[in-house]
């Protein structure tokens, strides 16, 4: 590595800064990383993990040191070294040349190196373009605009691929299950996007409406013999009326109070489901929920006399995967419906009012928009889509219990919306693929999934508070001249 001629900051300064960071990291890690409480027969005993502790601290010290060197004008060599290390690590992860112990620290090393490489790259770009601090924003905005444009162009292909997926040769049970899971979260994300992205109301209890939908379908179909399509609008309507009931008293509140109250409501509904055993069967949940039929035709190998099963109607052999295909198409239809509805309603006065409210509530009030009613519609519509998704969840699983509807689920849906970029439809799809599809494939990373969720939520908020792919197209341009390339008018 060629030594630099001159650093833009004194070496002693840099070392001191990194040493302070290292010391803080040591203080943070000493109790929780350095010691481990291990359960033994009757009590817990303490074990030490000092090598791991020192490695973690050294890692943070090195990372900070490298970042400081980047800032002092060494971005290029550092990017090359760390980038090469990350690539080698990935190659090794797949090919297993060297086996490494300490799974977590090993992964952390990779993460640190990647973060440093990315940061160095960003710094290089910024220097090359002589961008200022505001330039950070412009660059993110450019990426968002490019992705949104690209999405518009390749959107039809993605849709076509989604429709054709069951006919692909690789569409086995597992792929279809992942597809269904991803689409469910895409739909939930799009539904929540109406509330969070468009209307700017932070809803931390979204999963409550999902639960209402699921339990509505389960009870309607088991108790009153409704089929899926009959129960679906009722479930959506019930969820929407819950949204109105819960939203009406609290929507006067300011953003962060609203968030906590919705969280409280979400937990309340879960606790009621858990304790109202007469209706919901409590913690044991409801099982044997009817599976959907194909226009009245069941998916069974041997249907009762007088009823045609699906495989007989199509003249093919019976296969259990046919039902999975059908479930996949149902959720695809529901998701597309959600998206279409959202895109259309954005152009209506009510949609415009949502976005205006998000930007400035006081100005809206001055213009004669009733904030409570406007927010309430957003809340109810978001809740309705959650109700639809909940019904689908119940019919797909065949079993529901309050455990499926905890706060973590709300947080995951929120993470999808936030990471994708609030208000961006394509962002939700990308985020759902990354957050749901990814961990489904890499089962061994399951333990780190929520950790990474949390870290990503913090990181993205710090880097781009409006969300990764958020991009606001001006709805009205005052002159015919388009805004400068990639930079929408402010």
Partner 1 sequence: MEYFLQQLINGVTLGSIFGLIAIGYTMVYGILGMVNFAHGDIFMIGGFISVITFLVLGLLGVTWVPFALVCMLLMAMMFTSIYGWAVERIGYRALRNSNRLAPLISAIGMSIFLENYVQLLQGARNKAITPMLQGGVELMTSDSGFTVHLGYMQIVIVVVTAALMAGFALMIAQTSLGRQQRACEQDMRMARLLGVDVDRTISLTFVMGAALAAVAGMVWLLYYGIIDFYVGFLAGIKAFTAAVLGGVGSLPGAMLGGLLIGLIEVFWAAYFSTAYKDVATFGILVCVLIFRPTGLLGQPDIEKV
Q: Which residues between 343 and 402 bind partner 1 (CB under 8 A)? A: 362
Of 4, 9, 104, 313, the residue at the interface with partner 1 (CB under 8 A) is 104
**Which is nearer to partner 1, 309 or 470 (by Cβ)?**
470
The reply on whether position 450 binds partner 1 by CB under 8 A is yes
Q: Binder to partner 1 among 11, 20, 28, 224 (CB under 8 A)? A: 28
Asked if residues 327 and 292 have their Cβ atoms less than 8 Å apart, the reply is yes
38 touches partner 1 (CB under 8 A):
yes
469 binds partner 1 (CB under 8 A): no
Q: Does 256 bind partner 1 (CB under 8 A)?
A: yes
Q: How far is the CB of 413 from partner 1 (least distance, A)?
A: 12
Burial degree of 194 (CB within 10 A; 0-12, 13-18, 19+): buried
- The correct pick among 462, 473, 481, 484 for binding partner 1 (CB under 8 A) is 462
**454 part of the interface to partner 1, by CB under 8 A:** yes
Cβ at position 89, least distance to partner 1 in Å: 20
Q: How far apart are CA 116 and CA 132, in angstroms?
A: 20
**Quick one: 58 or 271, whose CB is closer to partner 1?**
271
Using the contact rule CB under 8 A, the part of the chain among 40-48, 167-175, 301-309, 437-445 near partner 1 is: 40-48
Minimum distance of partner 1 from residue 251's CB (angstroms): 10
Judged by CB under 8 A, does residue 461 bind partner 1? yes
The DSSP letter of residue 39 is E
Paired sense of beta strands 35-39 and 44-48, if any: antiparallel
Q: If binding is defined by CB under 8 A, does position 444 make contact with partner 1?
A: no
CA dihedral 242, 244, 249, 254 (to 10 degrees): 110
Q: Match 């990764």 to its residue by tokens.
A: 468
Between 366 and 476, name the residue whose CB sits nearer to partner 1: 366
334 or 436, CB closer to partner 1?
436
Q: Which two tokens stand for residue 482?
A: 């388009």
Residue 249 makes contact with partner 1 by CB under 8 A: yes
* Structural contact between residues 419 and 271, judged by C-beta atoms closer than 8 angstroms: no
User: How far is it, in rounded angstroms, from Cα 234 to Cα 388?
Assistant: 9
Smallest distance, partner 1 to C-beta of residue 275, A: 4
Distance between CA atoms of residues 189 and 382, nearest Å = 10
Nearest to 116 by CA among 145, 150, 147, 76: 76
> Shortest distance, CB of residue 151 to partner 1, whole angstroms?
23
- 10 Å CB burial of residue 49 (0-12, 13-18, 19+) is middle
Taking the least distance from each CB to partner 1, the nearer of 161 and 463 is: 463
Taking residue 286's Cβ as centre, other Cβ atoms within 10 Å add up to: 22
Binders of partner 1 in range 268-297 (CB under 8 A): 268, 271-272, 274-275
Q: Is 107 in the site for partner 1 (CB under 8 A)?
A: no
- Binding test (CB under 8 A) with partner 1, winner from 18, 144, 261, 289: 261
DSSP H or E run through 356: helix 349-359
Angle at CA of residue 348, ends 345 and 352, nearest 5°: 95
User: Do 375 and 199 meet the contact criterion of CB atoms below 8 Å apart?
Assistant: yes
Please say whether the dihedral angle defined by the alpha carbons of residues 462, 464, 470 and 476, taken in this order, is positive or negative.
positive
Nearer to partner 1, 71 or 397 (CB): 71
On whether the CB atoms of residues 468 and 420 are closer than 8 A, the answer is yes
- Could you tell me the two tokens for 371? 């904030």
Q: Name the nearest CA neighbour of 327 among 394, 235, 414.
A: 394
Of the candidates 241, 184, 186, the one whose C-alpha atom is nearest the C-alpha of residue 216 is: 241
Q: Is 32 in the site for partner 1 (CB under 8 A)?
A: yes
Which residue of 44, 128, 130, 278 would you call a contact of partner 1, by CB under 8 A? 44
Q: Which of 31, 304, 315, 368 touches partner 1 (CB under 8 A)?
A: 31
Contact between 50 and partner 1 (CB under 8 A)? no
Alpha carbons 374 and 198: distance in angstroms, whole number: 11
Judged by CB under 8 A, the stretch of 87-95, 212-220, 375-383, 404-412 that binds partner 1 is 404-412
Least separation, in Å, of the C-beta of 139 and partner 1? 17
455 forms part of the interface with partner 1 (CB under 8 A): yes
How many residues bind partner 1 (CB under 8 A)? The answer is 60
Q: Could you list the residues that contact partner 1 (CB under 8 A)?
A: 24, 27-28, 30-33, 35-39, 43-46, 104, 200, 202, 204, 249-250, 253-257, 259-261, 263-265, 267-268, 271-272, 274-275, 362, 407-408, 411, 414-415, 418, 447-448, 450-451, 453-458, 461-462, 465-466
């Amino acid at each position: 590595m060629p030594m630099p001629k001159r650093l833009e900051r004194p070496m002693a300064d840099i070392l001191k800064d990194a040493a302070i960071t290292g010391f803080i990291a040591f203080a943070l890690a000493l109790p929780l990383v350095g010691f481990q409480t291990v359960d033994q027969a009757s009590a817990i005993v303490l074990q030490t993990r000092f090598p791991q502790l020192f490695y973690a601290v050294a890692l943070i010290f090195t990372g900070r040191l490298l970042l400081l060197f980047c800032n002092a004008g060494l971005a290029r060599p550092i990017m090359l070294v760390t980038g090469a290390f990350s690539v080698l690590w990935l190659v090794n992860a797949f090919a297993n040349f060297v086996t490494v112990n300490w799974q977590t620290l090993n992964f952390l090393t990779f993460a640190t190196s990647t973060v440093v490489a990315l940061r160095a790259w960003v710094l290089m770009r910024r220097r090359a373009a002589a961008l200022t601090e505001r330039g950070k924003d412009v660059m993110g905005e450019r990426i968002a605009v490019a992705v949104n444009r690209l999405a518009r162009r390749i959107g039809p292909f993605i849709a076509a691929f989604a429709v054709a997926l069951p006919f692909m040769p690789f569409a086995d049970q597992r792929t279809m299950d992942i597809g269904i899971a991803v689409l469910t979260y895409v739909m939930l994300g799009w539904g929540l996007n109406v509330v969070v992205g468009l209307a700017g109301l932070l809803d931390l209890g979204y999963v409550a409406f999902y639960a209402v939908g699921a339990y509505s379908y389960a009870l309607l179909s088991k108790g009153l013999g409704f089929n899926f399509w009959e129960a679906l609008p009722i479930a959506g309507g019930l969820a929407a009326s819950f949204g109105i009931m819960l939203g009406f008293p609290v929507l006067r509140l300011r953003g962060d109070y609203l968030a906590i109250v919705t969280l409280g409501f979400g937990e309340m509904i879960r606790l009621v489901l858990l304790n109202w055993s007469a209706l919901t069967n409590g913690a044991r949940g409801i099982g044997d929920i009817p599976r959907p039929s194909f226009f009245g035709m069941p998916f069974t190998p041997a249907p009762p006399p007088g009823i045609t099963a699906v495989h007989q109607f199509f003249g093919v052999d019976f296969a259990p995967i046919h039902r999975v295909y059908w479930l996949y198409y149902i959720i695809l239809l529901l998701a597309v419906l959600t998206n279409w509805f959202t895109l259309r309603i954005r152009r209506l006065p009510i949609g415009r009012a949502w976005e205006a409210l998000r930007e400035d509530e006081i100005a809206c009030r001055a213009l004669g928009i009733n904030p409570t009613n406007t927010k309430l519609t957003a809340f109810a519509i978001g809740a309705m889509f959650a109700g639809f998704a909940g019904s689908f969840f119940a019919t797909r699983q065949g079993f529901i219990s309050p455990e499926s509807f905890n706060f973590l689920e709300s947080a995951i849906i929120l993470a999808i919306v936030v990471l994708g970029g609030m208000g961006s439809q394509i962002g939700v799809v990308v985020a759902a693929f990354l957050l749901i599809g990814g961990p489904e494939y890499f089962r061994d990373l399951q333990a780190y999934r929520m950790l990474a969720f949390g870290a990503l939520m913090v990181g993205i908020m710090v880097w781009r508070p409006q969300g990764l792919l958020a991009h606001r197209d001006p709805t009205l341009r005052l002159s015919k001249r388009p805004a400068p390339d990639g930079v929408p008018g402010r």
